[in-house]
């Protein structure tokens, strides 16, 4: 099927109509029903988009771009679609205004498509070269700067302004995901976890990355309880029950070993486990070695035999079977030990010392004793957990982004003649941890900066004749975000825009930096916004390069057939 520009726009606008229902601070939740009659409520843009049954390949391509951006930054999935639709509308309008050589329908469509592709490429090249500088000069001075130490310090005085900014940043983020009711609770849990979580001699950034990478093993979802029951508990939860009695609660140190194999091979005969005399003596030797090392807890990646469990119970060694790989990896990282797979190789270096080991009852399940996230149902509990993890990713992007590498990659992909020297101003945008008042402040400020920059160039200037057009188009598309935020109260859109632009013209930064303005609108990350704009522009260029969609009835071969390689 041959694709026209209007087909691309229609596809993206259909996705836009879905996410707009939950966009902004006053957006509602979207209700999904599965074939099993199970219902799911969500305000997460990524969750909503991935739950759709999309048949059109362009729609799936857009959702894939959104998911890739969201998984990296944890934020901006709904704004991604909104900006994408707005830019495509602007590009479509400009492409249709271009004079066409022929009045033939197909020739006109081809000319419009070529103009649109060229305009999208120019927009991305312009953003890669100038966007960081425009944000640094036009947006960053009106924001706050936070650092790792602002939320990793053990104590926070009430006068610690930047710590309050971190809490406001998280609260604003969770508000768009979970609403007013639950955002304060999840914000407090996040700050409590990050405040108490750090490794010796590790940078705070590494600790936060560790929380992000190991989050599946760091939290326990419990359905059937209100979210107010969520709490941070001491210790790691192993999501398996004890196969043998747990260690006695006394003052002796508890020592544990992570084992990834079988303590003894099994011979199955008519469903009855049998061991030879040699195997039994070998097993007894292994258990005796564990006793000699003082081991009282054995965390096993596999299910052990009945004989192993019997001898372990007799030796007062607690066994927890079928522990997941993520949990074993986390335990090894926390304890500083390495797992062992050969029972004959267990040494003192494999033994970890525990503070406690006890059963814990969470909902209807008992586990071998991080973060407990509760919810009325599985879908809502999962939504809270995903929001928590995305909040951690957002903080990572805010405080230690990787935009310089991404920019270099995008520049090489476009094969544009852009200077390889990244301006020093980009370092300021990407590394300062800048946050700014939400509610469209970023878009209003960047809109003004783009128009001001474009006005410096004359249309008759052959060298930079396209810059005024690009600046105006980009600036106009940005306003679609605050327009949607204040769609239910248009007068607030004009009031906010007037207040911000008046402050810029009169150099009254205090108006935008005021506490009341911040509390009314919340805070958002400048780095997340920067990466969002680049990701959207990349998606626009990718969409407009698609010319034809081919439908096949068989799976495409992504790798060449090895048998056919005869040269």
The residues with which 256 forms a beta bridge, in sequence order, are: 297, 352
In a domain, 197, yes or no: yes
Quick one: 199 and 91 in the same domain?
Answer: no
Higher pLDDT, 361 or 274: 361
Same domain, 59 and 102: yes
538 lies in the same domain as 425: yes
The answer on 310 and 181 residing in a single domain is: no
Residue 171 shares a structural domain with residue 226: yes
**3-state SS, one letter per residue, for 222-250:** EECCCHHHCEECCCCCCCCCCCCCCCCCC
Kind plus residue range of the DSSP H or E element containing 122: helix 105-138
The alpha carbon of residue 432 and the mean position of all alpha carbons in its chain are separated, in whole angstroms, by 20
Domain span holding position 218 = 149-233+371-384
Judgement on whether residues 138 and 93 belong to the same structural domain of the protein: yes
Mean pLDDT of all residues in 331-357: 84
- Whole-number average pLDDT of the chain: 78
CA distance 142 to 508: 10
- pLDDT for residue 158: 46
Q: Which of 28-37, 78-87, 133-142, 197-206 has the lowest mean pLDDT?
A: 197-206
State the Cα–Cα distance between residues 250 and 356, nearest whole angstrom.
Answer: 10
Q: In 231-260, which positions are buried (b, 16+ CB within 10 angstroms) versus exposed (e)?
A: ebeeebbbbbebbbebbeeeeeebbbbbbe
Taking only the tens place, the pLDDT of each residue in 289-328 is 888 888 889 888 888 888 888 888 888 888 988 888 888 8
Of 349, 384, 419, the one marking the end of a domain is 384
Q: Please tell me the predicted confidence (pLDDT) of residue 411.
A: 37
What residues does 31 pair with on adjacent strands? 41
Predicted confidence at residue 517, as pLDDT, reads: 59
Higher pLDDT, 542 or 521: 542
Residue 557 lies in a domain: no
Distance CA 255, CA 341 (A): 18
Which of 115-129, 221-235, 397-411 tops mean pLDDT?
115-129
For the stretch 50-67, pLDDT in tens is 988 888 889 999 999 999
pTM score above 0.85: no
Is residue 72 located within the same domain as residue 103?
yes
In a domain, 459, yes or no: yes
Name the residue with tokens 């607030």. Answer: 492
* CB neighbourhood size of 549 (10 A): 12
CATH assignment at residue 40: 1.10.560.10
- Portion of the chain with pLDDT greater than 90, in percent: 20
pLDDT band at 415 (very low <50, low <70, confident <90, very high): very low
Nearest Cα to Cα of residue 221 among 363, 34, 50, 390? 363
Count CB-CB contacts under 10 A for residue 507: 8
Query: For residues 221 and 476, which has the higher predicted lDDT (pLDDT)?
Result: 476
DSSP annotation of 22: G
Shared-domain flag, residues 349 and 471: no
In whole angstroms, how large is the CA radius of gyration of the chain?
Answer: 29
**Same domain? 213 vs 284:** no
In a domain, 337, yes or no: yes
Q: How many independent structural domains does the chain possess? A: 3
CATH code of the domain containing 339 = 3.50.7.10
Whether 549 maps to a domain, the answer reads no
Residues 29 and 97 in one domain: yes
Question: Are 264 and 339 part of one and the same domain?
Answer: yes
A 10 A CB-CB count for 554 gives 5
More confident residue, 280 or 99: 280
pLDDT reported for residue 553: 63
pLDDT exceeds cutoff 60 at 563: no
What pLDDT is recorded for position 516? Answer: 56
272 and 338 in a common domain: yes
- More confident position, 564 or 165: 165
Q: Is residue 141 part of a domain?
A: yes
Q: Please, which residues have CB within 8 angstroms of residue 370's CB and are 6 or more apart in sequence?
A: 218, 219, 220, 232, 233, 235, 236, 237
């Amino acid at each position: 099927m041959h694709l026209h520009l209007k087909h691309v726009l229609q596809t993206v606008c259909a996705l836009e109509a879905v996410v707009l229902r939950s966009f902004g601070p006053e957006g509602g939740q979207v209700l999904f029903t599965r074939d099993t009659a199970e219902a799911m409520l969500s305000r997460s843009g990524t969750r909503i988009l991935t739950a759709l049954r999309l048949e059109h390949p362009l729609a799936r391509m857009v959702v894939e771009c959104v998911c890739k951006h969201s998984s990296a930054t944890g934020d901006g999935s709904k704004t991604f679609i909104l900006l994408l639709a707005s830019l495509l509308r602007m590009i479509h309008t400009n492409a249709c205004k271009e004079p066409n050589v022929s009045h033939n329908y197909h020739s006109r469509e081809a000319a419009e498509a070529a103009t649109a592709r060229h305009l999208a490429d120019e927009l991305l090249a312009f953003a890669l070269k100038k966007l960081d500088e425009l944000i640094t000069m036009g947006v960053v001075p009106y924001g706050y700067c936070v650092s790792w130490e602002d939320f990793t310090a053990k104590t926070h005085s009430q006068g610690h302004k930047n710590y309050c900014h971190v809490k406001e940043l998280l609260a604003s983020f969770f508000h768009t995901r979970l609403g007013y009711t639950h955002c304060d609770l999840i914000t407090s849990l996040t700050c409590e976890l990050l405040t108490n979580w750090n490794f010796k001699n590790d940078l705070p950034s590494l600790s936060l990355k560790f929380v992000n990478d190991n989050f599946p093993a760091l939290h326990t979802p419990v359905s059937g309880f209100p979210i107010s029951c969520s709490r941070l508990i001491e210790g790691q939860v192993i999501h398996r029950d004890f196969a043998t009695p747990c260690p006695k609660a006394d003052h002796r140190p508890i020592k544990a070993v992570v084992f990834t194999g079988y303590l003894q091979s099994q011979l199955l005969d008519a469903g009855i486990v049998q061991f030879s005399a040699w195997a039994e003596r070998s097993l007894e030797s292994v258990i005796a070695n564990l006793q000699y090392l003082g081991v009282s807890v054995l965390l096993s990646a596999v299910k052990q035999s009945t004989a192993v469990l019997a001898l372990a119970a007799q030796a007062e060694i607690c066994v927890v079977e079928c522990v997941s790989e993520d949990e074993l990896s986390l335990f090894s990282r926390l304890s500083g030990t390495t797992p062992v797979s050969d029972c004959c190789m267990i040494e003192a270096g494999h033994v970890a010392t525990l503070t406690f080991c006890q059963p814990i009852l969470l909902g209807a399940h008992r586990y071998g004793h991080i973060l407990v996230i509760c919810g009325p149902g599985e879908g809502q509990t999962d939504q809270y957990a995903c929001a928590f993890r995305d909040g951690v990713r957002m903080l990572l992007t805010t405080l230690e982004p990787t935009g310089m590498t991404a920019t270099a990659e995008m520049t090489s992909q476009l094969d544009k003649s852009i200077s390889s020297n990244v301006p020093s101003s980009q370092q300021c945008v990407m590394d300062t941890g800048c946050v700014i008042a939400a509610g469209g402040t970023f878009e209003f400020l960047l809109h003004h900066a783009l128009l001001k920059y474009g006005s410096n160039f004359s249309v008759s200037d052959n060298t930079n004749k396209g810059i005024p057009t690009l600046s105006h188009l980009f600036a106009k598309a940005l306003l679609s975000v605050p327009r949607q935020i204040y769609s239910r109260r248009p007068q607030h859109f004009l009031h906010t825009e007037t207040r911000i632009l008046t402050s810029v013209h009169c150099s009254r930064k205090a108006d935008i930096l005021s506490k009341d303005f911040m509390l009314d609108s919340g805070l958002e990350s400048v780095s997340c916004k920067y990466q969002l704009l680049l990701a959207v522009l990349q998606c626009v260029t990718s969409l407009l390069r698609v010319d034809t969609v081919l439908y096949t009835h068989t799976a495409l071969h992504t790798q060449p057939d090895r048998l056919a390689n005869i040269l």
